[in-house]
Structure 1
Amino acid sequence: MFDTMTMTKVIGAFCGALLVFLLGSWAAEALYHTGGSSHGDDHAKQGYLIETESDGATETAEEGPSLEELLASADVGKGERVFGKCKACHKVEAGANGTGPTLHAIVGRDIGAEPGFSFSNALVEMDGAWTPEALDGFVENPKGYAPGTKMGFAGLKKAEDRANLIAYLETLGG
C-alpha cells in the first residue's frame, strides 16, 4: 500500500491545491467585486445609464390590431393546428370530457358549466360566458385570468394564434 511519506505528500498536495483555489477565489472577488453580499442576498446591478433626449411627451407602446380585427381575418385551419397544443387535455366531441372539459360549443357557454366535469372553484365562481374576449384572456394566461385554475397550460402569447384558435372553436357546434 502507501507508506507514510507518500500519504503525507498526497495530503500536502491536496491542501496546497485547496489553498491556491481559496486564494484565487479571494483575489478574484477583491478585483471584480460588484457590490452586494457575497451570500447572494443582494444582486449586483451592472450596466450603463444611457441618457436620451425626450420631447416631454409620454410614449406608449404601439398596440397591435384589436381582437375583433384579428377574428375578422382569422384562419380556421391555422386555429385547428394551434388546437394541437390543447388535444392532450381537451376533446371537441359533445360530452367528451378528458383531463379538461370538452370544448364542443365552448363559445357562448357559461364559464365553469359543462355537465360531468369538475371545474376548479376559480372557474365555478366566475360569472359570464366564454365570449371570444373571455377566451382570449384565458388562453393568453390561464393562471393570470383565473387565479387558482387547475389548468396547467402556460398560455398562448401570440394574439394571432389565439384569434385563429377562437375562430376554430366557434366552428365546434353550438
Structure 2
Amino acid sequence: MTRHIALGVMLLLAGCARDDREARRRATGPNAVLADYLRVADAGAGGRSFAACAACRTVRQNAPDAGGPNLYGVMGKPVTGASARFAYTAALQSVGGVWTPARMDRWLRSPAAFAPGTRMAFAGIADPLERADVIVFLSSQGPTR
C-alpha cells in the first residue's frame, strides 16, 4: 500500500512539474526571445537539467575539474576563465569574451556551432526554456556579485 501511495505522489509531482513548465512557456508569450525565457526561468529546474552534466562538470567552489572545467561562478568570467587549471581547446580560446546569458545560450544550444572544433561531446539543448533554466541555475552557482 505504501508503495502505491509513493508512486501516486511521484506521478502527481511529475504532472505538476510538467504543468508548471507549460505555464512558464505560455508566460513567455508569442515570438519569445531569450529575455522572455530568462524572466520565467527556474534555477531548480536548471539544476535538475544540469544533473546530466554532472558526470563531467561540477559547480562547487574549489572543487577539482573533471572532464570539463569547474563551472562555479562561470557567468561573467572569460569564456576560457572558469578554471585556471583546465586545458581549454584552441576552439574555445579563439572565441574570447565573457560568459553572458546570450553567449551561454548559444553554447548550450550547440557547442559545436558556438566554438567549431571544441572537444565538448554534447549535441546541445534544443528547448530554449530548458537552456534558460540552466543559465539561471549557473548564475546562482557562484559568489554573490
* Same topology, TM > 0.5: yes
Map residues 62-81 of structure 1 onto 2, 5 A cutoff: 64-81=31-48
| Deviation larger for 164-173 or 87-96 | 87-96
Selected match of 1:92 from 54, 59, 70: 59
- Name structure 2 gaps, 5 residues minimum: 1-29
Partner AA of 1:100 in structure 2: G
State the TM-score, normalizing by the size of structure 2.
0.74
Taking only aligned residues, the RMSD between alpha carbons, in angstroms, comes to: 1.2
Partner AA of 2:35 in structure 1: E
Task: Give 1 or 2: higher helix fraction.
Answer: 2
Partner AA of 2:67 in structure 1: T
2 CA distance for matches of 1:64 and 1:129?
Answer: 27
Partner AA of 2:32 in structure 1: P
Structure 1 segments of 4+ aligned residues over 4 angstroms from their partners: none
Which structure is higher in RCO with an 8 Å CA cutoff and minimum separation 6? Answer: 2
Does 2:125 match 1:156?
Answer: yes
Map residues 87-166 of structure 1 onto 2, 5 A cutoff: 87-95=54-62, 96-113=64-81, 114-166=83-135
Q: What are the Cα deviations for residues 81-125 of structure 1, in whole angstroms up to 9, with x where unaligned?
A: 110121111011124211000110011010112210001101112
2 CA distance for matches of 1:156 and 1:103?
Answer: 18
Map residues 24-43 of structure 1 onto 2, 5 A cutoff: none
1 CA distance for matches of 2:96 and 2:114?
Answer: 13
The verdict on how the C-alpha distance between 1:145 and 1:75 changes in structure 2, with shifts beyond 3 A counting, is same
Map residues 2-13 of structure 1 onto 2, 5 A cutoff: none
| Structure 1 equivalent of residue 142 of structure 2 | 173
Q: Structure 1 vs Structure 2: percent identity of aligned residues? A: 34
Give the count of matched residue pairs: 112
